[in-house]
Each structure stands twice: as structure tokens, then as C-alpha cells.
Structure 1
Amino acid sequence: MPSPNRPFWPRGVPADVRVPQVPLTHYLQTAAERWPDKPAIVFAGSTLDYAGLWQRSCALAGHLAQRLGVRPGDRVLLVAQNCPQFVVATFGIQRAGAAVVPVNPMSTAPELAHYAHDSGARVAICAQELLGPVQQAVADGLLDAVLVLAYADALTADGVSTQTEAVQGVPALAEARRPLPDGPYHGFEAAIAEGLAPPPSHADVHALAALPYTSGTTGAPKGCRHSHATLLASNLASQVWRGLHSESVFLCVAPLFHMLGMQNGMNLPITLGATVVMMPRWNAAQAVALVARHRVSVWAAPPAMVMDFFAQPEAATADLSSLSMLSGGGAAMPEAVAAMLQARFGLAYNEAYGLTETAAFLHANPVDRGKRQCLGLPTQGVHSLVVDPESLAPLPPGEVGELVTRGPQLMLGYWRQPEADAQAFVTIDGQRYLRTGDLAQVDEEGYFFMRDRLKRMINASGFKVWPAEVEAMLYEHEAVLEACVVGVPDPRRGETVRALVVARPGRPLTEAGLLDWCRTRMSAYKVPRSVRFLSALPRSATGKVAWRALQEAEARAALIPTQEAA
């Protein structure tokens, strides 16, 4: 509640969040008991109600436990685009007492192999068109069993024609179930059809529920250990902060493997017993039609997606009056777009801030008193400080320092990475804080603003790209002598990836050729959008590549029109 210390705290919002001592699966079961025939997921015109979602999740849990030997505490890979089966798989894995390892569908075979090896997962659930990297992991002895799903199995006869709503831009949605490959592959629908009973009890609220991977400044991606309790803390705080309820209708577009989508498009609405209108892939015109048709009221999306949505001609004429909560983060919403949303649609974009390590929701602007291009206030139970990066001494309002934070939604730690934990967590006044690596300042009213990054990281439409990881892969190319990866401003994505490369003498190398090579070795969002060849990379007195100077120079150049363009 508002107080002299926090005069702009939202009225009616408690200072702390009390996390119930039940797991996520309890909420799905409760919703199925309360509203068995209520639409849980609307997908390509087809509907899966809460009773069906719970029944399918339990049956999958039974198959995982009784047929594939999945035990409490195990990890299971999940590789798919947004679809109802993704939700069934997530809750089925968790009902079996295991943790879901969400994998970017764009992952290459080496990337997926890392997730399988590092997490120790021996079972995977995968969409049939994404099987290639998974099959390689099976051949390499990393996986023992794979459940294979087809999106078309989620389409019911009473749904809208797949040609008009399902297949547009996503041919895999209409593709019939393929024959299973030889080997340890099992049909997803056949597994559910067995109707095997799940384990007798739910997982403990403090058990591992999800292991999403995030990259770091060096080395391979690290798993963030999230329990049911940490995921719930984020969800429940967001519900109260934003006034969400069981009759809310959510548009789920952000990828479910990503924390923004997983939390806002799946876990949060299901803990409420709300309805999710799900898109497998972004299509702005289709999104406008879905909001109008299904009376969507809540949508979490990065600014680039919001700008694309409202730039559609259909947005000017469609009935979008149901849309009342538009939120997101990952990049600042441009002032001109925010003003347009308010003037034309009466919508305020509720900017927020969170990390994979914090299960998304951490800071947010008060709904009725937001500031633009602002991280907002620390939400319920969250304590954030701006500190000197070297001494860790708290800094006064107005000074720029590293943002450190603590709260009930913080991950338990990195998966089997004690060295990374030692670097990520610090103790201040006897309390354990997470170092975000983001440079921020807090104003006199307690609002936080992003100012820079302490760590090298590129934020492209909410996807984190760590330059050191991309550089390491570029050095595998036989014609690359030196490489430095930087972020440059992009009007739609916030930032985009550029590679500055020094070619080996006598080795021909072109931008197109190098980009084609990159696409075969790294996820699409990590692939540089452009390459600039240099004769040498500048270095500091200690011999390190002067990446910050290069990045600043590239950023300035991106903002200055060329003579030809002028």
C-alpha cells in the first residue's frame, strides 16, 4: 500500500506475495474441477477445455513414469512451437515429478546436445518437424527415448478451417502424423491413449519444475533452477499487480520455451483458470483478427511485436476494445509508439523488467502511474538496489550502478555451476542478492531506469545474445582470423547482431558465405544480421579486444544516415 517510503506503490497491492504450498499442477487440477468445460486453450479454431487438458496431462505423466522410467527429479527436454501439446507436455512432465527443459525450436544439433548432456535428460518430447537435432542426440547416446507429436493432432473437426487460421505461415500445422523413425521413438497421442495413471501424489512446491537455459558472458548456456514456488511467486505477484482474474482472455504469442511466453502465456493463465488464445508463430494480421474474435483482454509481448500489431491496416478498423492489459519488456517502448497507443486506443503499455533467472516478473510500472522507457518499481517481496559494481556499496538516487535484486521468484541457482553461482550472487547486509549485470539508476520516486550493461549482451526483441558465445562459434570457421560481435540499434528489434571480422590472409570470405555458414551452426536469433570486414581489431593495452569502443562506433554509424541515403 502507498506509504511515505513508497508514495507511488499501487493501491490495493500488498507489499509481499504469499506463495501457496502447492505445485503448479495443483492449479491445473483445481481449474479442471471448477470449470471442466471451460476453454483452457484456443488454437487454430480448436478448443481444449480444462477437463481435457488435465486428463491428457495425467495420462502423459503415467506414460512417462510407467513406460519411460521418468522419476521425480528427472529432467525432460521439450522441443516444439507453441501448441496445446506443449502445455500438456509441460504439466505432464511436472505431474510425473520431473522438470521440463524448454528448448528453442531453432536449436542446432550441437546446441541441443549441450542441453541434453548438461541437464542429464534422457527423455525428450519433440514436434515431428524438429526431430533432426534430437535424432542426432539419440544416435550419440544422449537420449534413451523420444515422444513425437504432430501439431495437426490438436486440430478438431469443429475448428476453423486449417487453411484460414492454422496453416498460414506454418505448414507443419496441417501436416499429418508421420511414421515414427526406427529406434526409441514413441507417438505422443498413443502414449496418452494408454490412459496410464500418474504417480499417486503431486511434486513438492520446492521441487525443481523447470530448467530454462540462458547464455552467459563466457562458455556454454547455463540452466536456471526454478522450483514450482519460484515460478508461482512471479505469477501470483503479476496477477495482483495487474488485476488479472479467471475471466481474463490471454493472447499467447511469445514462444513458450522463453520465460516471457512460458509464464505469461501458460503458467499465469492456468493458475488463474483463464483462457489462452494461442498462436504457433507470429503473424500480425492474424493476431488482430484473433484479439477481435475471441475478445482477448491480456497480452504480454515485446515492443517490436506490439508495433507490428498496431501497424496493420486491420488494427484501425477491428474491434479491439476488449484489450485492457498490454505489457512486456526486453526493450524500451519508443515514446512515439506509446503516445499513439494512448491516443488512439486508450492503452498504456505496462513496461516491466525481469530475467530468466527471476522467472520473468520482477519490476513493473504501476498500472495507473507508469513512466515510459522505465523498469518500474520492485514488485511484491522484491528488494532491488543500485550498487557500485566494484565495492557493492549502495548508491544514492540518480547515480548509475549495477542493479542487484532479491525476491521469492529468484532461481535457486544455476544447474551444477557453483562457480557461476559464486559470480552471480552476492551478500549485502546479510541478504543474498542476484547481480543482474545491468547498469541502472533509481529516481527520487523510486522508479528504476536502465542505463547500460555491465556484461556484454545484445537484446534482440527480448532474445539475449551473448557475443562471446557467437564469437566462439565464428572462430570455428577456417577463414576467420579474429571476430568481435557487437549490438547495433535497430528500429524494430531494439538491437541487432553484427559481426566484425578479420579474415585470414589468402582465405576468401564473403558476408553471404559467412552468414550461410552461421545459419547451420547456431540458432537463428544468434546469427549476425550483418558482417563488416576489418583489417584488424583494436586492442587495449593489455591485449584485449576493445569491444566497447567498437560497439559504440558501430552504434554511432547506424544512427548517422549515409550520404547516399541522405
Structure 2
Amino acid sequence: MNAYERFPWRALYDAGIEPNPRQDYTNGLDMFAAALARAPHESALLYFDGRLDWQALDAWSDRIACLLLDEGVQRGDRVALYLQNVPQFVMALLGIWKAGAVMVPVNPMNRARELRLLLDDSQTRVLICDAALEGEVVREVMASIEAEGKAAPRVLTTRARALQTRDDPRVFGAQREPSGAGEDARDLLQAAQAVQPGRKPPPVALAASDAAMLVYTSGTSGRPKGAICTHGNFAFNSQTYRDFCGLREGGPILGVAPLFHITGLVGHIGAAWIARAPLILTYRFDPAATLDAIEEHRAEFTIGAITVFIALLHHADATREQLATLTKIYSGGAPIAPSVVEAFSTKFGHVIHGAYGLTETNSPAHMVPLARTAPVDPRSGALAMGVPVPGAEAAIVDDDGHMLAPGETGEIVCRGPMVVPGYWNNVAATVDALRGETVKAVVSLRAGEVADAAELIAFCKARMAAYKYPRVVEFRDELPKTATGKILRRDLR
């Protein structure tokens, strides 16, 4: 029995949205190819006064794929993007996948220590970065890698203004272009233009189970972990946005979430590709520039942090007319105050719908149906975050994994085609986070010591996070060891 049969959630959905939908595509390249075939000369990317149609995006990404192959990138290699919301991000992502490689998004706010950690952990082969960041951060990191006698990633730079001519001081501010790039750095677009005209990368077959991206968690609860987001994950939840949010084919999508974040990757790029919709980018969020972009390009859908919509709500020049077309609005990542939803609806006439998900669920696991208004919990005043999206099964469980009754407090667990298979180079974290295994302690007591399983479990439970303490304890006279005295963990597993 799945979650839809267990609880009366199905009644909340509009007719036509099935709880277990078919998956239309197995990878992002097929989604893009379908959009290209349907409308090669329609807009794919809108960036201030710059525009790329699907055919131009295809040609640029072909050149970037060939460039990466010439740099020695092989299937499965990692290529990192250290960029703001610029067209080059989308062009490079597509080129990386055409080369058979895996994309690693990096927050452009990360400094040297954070960048070095991600590059080392992912074993990145090529880094594509904002030209300003090359001088401010990247050069220092590359020097530190080489000082240790290691091979540093190849660096390609690109300028934020490269594909548009109208500077917007509200957005770019005092951003300075670098005085000069490092010796190993080259301009991405110049290098791509040098690729032989008409050259295309060899066709690459991408399975749903192949890694598409390593998206690192924020690290707020420890060292960042690289969630292995597969092509199947990406395609499935792109479809979730299209079907659950009722995206119109060709309906412009406003990209306010950072593209390095899982919401921007799936809820903007993936949703735009599967809906053959132009994606509107504005470098980074600025309320005035965003309002202009919504009005100019007639944006219909977006998803972003609630702080985005609070900023629009309180902007002195914001009018109902500017947001007239933006009828499908979702927000996730933080609790939403009912008062904000009410004020936004009063001023602009549109309802902000809640969404909940994780990097590990490739963006949404729960969303409020578009035609519904989320209820408010009378006890806490909290706004409901939604119901499981089609294909997801979810439940609330206690510390022992037992399902709880409605109204009880516990942990959300979720499974479905959107859930990642694990973390990059981190078996322990994979076992901790993905259900199907539980924590077991194998204990060998010192001579003369006495303890029972319940005592040890209670001791650990009082000192460890809920997902870490053992549920099962096995006592052995001796633990299996190697000749040098190391414990053979594989034998214990």
C-alpha cells in the first residue's frame, strides 16, 4: 500500500494528475533535444537585452562539449561551474552533458577554503568560473593545489556581461572585471568559438542511472556531501514541475533561484527544457530588475525563497500590473508566514504556494496543488507545505522508524524516482541518510565488563543524532581484524 492509498491526500489533487506518473524522459539531453526539435528559433534564454534561441543554445553547447573533450575530459569526469545566473551556466551544463561528463555547481559566494574542499572531493577536471572570481579566489586555490604537487583543474573564465549589452547598475553594481587572467585561464566563449565550425561532439548515450550532477549540501550539519543527482532524477522532477504546476508549453519561466542550487537546476533549467519555455535570467536577484524582467518577458512561473517575494512585496515601485502574468508562484527552503501569503495576494492578486524538498530529492518532494490554498495549523500557525508530489511516497516516523499517526511530531521520510542513490565518495553518509539499512553496533566487551543491549542503545540515543544511534546491538567475544590489528568492517557488514 503506498502513501496515496494510506492517507486521503489524493482528494486534494486536480483531476488528471496521477499519483504514479510515467516518466517521459530518462535524461536532460533528450528533454533539450525535444524542445530544440519543436521550436529551434524560439527563445530559450532571455538575459537583459540578450537572447539565445534553442538552435543557438545547441550550437554553443556543441562547441563547449568539443572544447571540454579537447581539454581531456572523459565520460564521467567532473566539470565545475562557479557562476552566477548567466546564460553561460546553461550553455556549459548542456555542453558538459554532451561530453558525457558530470556537472558540479559551486556557490559563487564560496571563498577559497570552500572551493578547494569541493574541487578536492569531486576531483574536478575543469573549472568554469566568473572572470572576476578567477582573480579573487580561483588563482589562490589553483596555486595551493599545485604547491602540494597535485594537478590543478584547467580553468576557463567567462564574463557576466558577455552575452548582453545593456549594463544594469542595480544588478552588477561595482562589479569589476579582472585586470588579467592567470596563465592557465582562458575565456570560455573565445575558446568555444575557436572550435572548428560545424564540429559536433560524438553522440553520448545517457542512462537514467548515470550521474548528471554532484550537488553539494550546505554543510550546516557537518562537512558538505556531494549528492549524486542522476539523469533520471533530473528528468523526473522536471516533469513534476511541468505536470503538477501546470506549466504551459512556451510559458516563460523566471529564474530567481540560484542555478547552483537544486531548485534552480531542476525548477528553472529542467522545467524550462521540458516545457519548451524561455528561461529568464538576471545575473542575481535584484527586486527592481526582477520586476522589469517579469513585465518585459511576461513571466508565468517561478519558484524561489520566500525572501524573494517579501522583497517584491515591499518594493516601493512594485505594481499589480507588473506581476499580472506571474500566476504560478512557488516558494520553498524556509517556512512561509501566512501573513506574507495574504499580503502578497492582496497586493498582486496571486497566491504563493509552498513546496518542500531537499538536494537529495532533486527539489520538490511535497508541493501545494496549484488550485488549492494551503491550510494553516491552528496550534502553531504554520502554513502547510503541501502533499507528496506524484511518484513520491512519504510518511512521518519516530526515532525507531515506526509510522506515526496524524498530528504527531516526527521525521519526514520519502522515497520515489526523485531520490538520489547516494553521496559521492561517502558510503557512511549514504547508509545514514537513505532508508533500507539501519544502524547496528557490534560490541566486544573488555574482560570483566558487563552491559546489555538496551543500556548501550539508551546511552547512544542520549548523545547522538536520531539517525546515528544503533537500533540493534550484537555482542561478540572478538571483532574480526586484519594481521595489523585493523577491524574488518566489511566482514561486520
Class of the TM-score when normalised by the shorter of the 2 chains: 0.7 to 0.9
Aligned to 1:285: 288
TM-score (norm 1): 0.71
- Asked whether the 8 Å contact 1:146–1:185 carries over to 2, the reply is yes
Q: Which structure 2 residues correspond to residues 63-462 of structure 1 after superposition, within 5 A?
A: 63-65=67-69, 67-131=70-134, 132-139=136-143, 140-141=145-146, 143-155=152-164, 161-162=166-167, 166-171=168-173, 175=177, 179-182=180-183, 184-193=184-193, 194-195=195-196, 196-216=199-219, 219-316=222-319, 318-372=321-375, 373-389=383-399, 391-427=400-436
Q: Secondary structure at the match of 1:361?
A: strand
Cα shift at 1:85:
0.3
Which structure would you say has the larger RCO, counting Cα contacts within 8 Å and 6 or more residues apart?
2
Q: Which structure 2 residues correspond to residues 530-549 of structure 1 after superposition, within 5 A?
A: none
Q: Secondary structure at the match of 1:209?
A: strand
Cα shift at 1:217:
6.0
Aligned to 2:460: none
Mapped to 2, the partners of 1:77 and 1:116 lie a distance apart of: 8
The structure whose residues are more often strand, as a share, is 1
Cα shift at 1:216:
4.4
Aligned to 1:23: 27
Mapped to 1, the partners of 2:220 and 2:326 lie a distance apart of: 38
- Asked whether the 8 Å contact 2:171–2:283 carries over to 1, the reply is no
1:368-388 CA-partner distances (Å, limit 9, x unpaired): 223151121111110111111
Aligned to 1:471: none
- Asked whether the 8 Å contact 1:384–1:403 carries over to 2, the reply is yes
1:5-41 CA-partner distances (Å, limit 9, x unpaired): 4322332101113224542022222222221111111
- Asked whether the 8 Å contact 2:320–2:347 carries over to 1, the reply is no
1:477-521 CA-partner distances (Å, limit 9, x unpaired): xxxxxxxxxxxxxxxxxxxxxxxxxxxxxxxxxxxxxxxxxxxxx
Q: Which structure 2 residues correspond to residues 495-510 of structure 1 after superposition, within 5 A?
A: none
Mapped to 2, the partners of 1:83 and 1:260 lie a distance apart of: 16
Mapped to 2, the partners of 1:125 and 1:412 lie a distance apart of: 26
- Asked whether the 8 Å contact 2:302–2:330 carries over to 1, the reply is yes
1:398 alignment partner AA: G
Cα shift at 1:335:
1.6
Q: CA RMSD in A?
A: 2.3
Q: Secondary structure at the match of 2:344?
A: helix
Mapped to 1, the partners of 2:335 and 2:80 lie a distance apart of: 32
Mapped to 2, the partners of 1:371 and 1:287 lie a distance apart of: 26
Mapped to 1, the partners of 2:154 and 2:437 lie a distance apart of: 45
Summarize the Cα distance change of 1:299–1:337 in structure 2 as closer, same or farther, 3 Å threshold.
same
**Identity, % of aligned positions:** 30
Cα shift at 1:286:
1.8
Mapped to 1, the partners of 2:318 and 2:38 lie a distance apart of: 35
- Asked whether the 8 Å contact 1:332–1:374 carries over to 2, the reply is no
- Asked whether the 8 Å contact 1:17–1:233 carries over to 2, the reply is no
Cα shift at 1:366:
1.5
2:172 alignment partner AA: V
Instruction: Mark the runs of 5 or more structure 1 residues left unpaired by the alignment.
Output: 430-453, 457-566
Cα shift at 1:455:
6.7
1:54-113 CA-partner distances (Å, limit 9, x unpaired): 110111001101x21111111111101110001111111111111110000011111111
Mapped to 1, the partners of 2:337 and 2:116 lie a distance apart of: 38
Cα shift at 1:179:
4.4
The alignment covers a number of residue pairs equal to 421
Cα shift at 1:300:
0.9
Q: Secondary structure at the match of 1:292?
A: helix
Q: Which structure 2 residues correspond to residues 50-61 of structure 1 after superposition, within 5 A?
A: 50-61=54-65
Q: Secondary structure at the match of 1:426?
A: coil
TM-score (norm 2): 0.81
Mapped to 1, the partners of 2:175 and 2:15 lie a distance apart of: 45
Instruction: Mark the runs of 5 or more structure 2 residues left unpaired by the alignment.
Output: 376-382, 439-463, 467-493
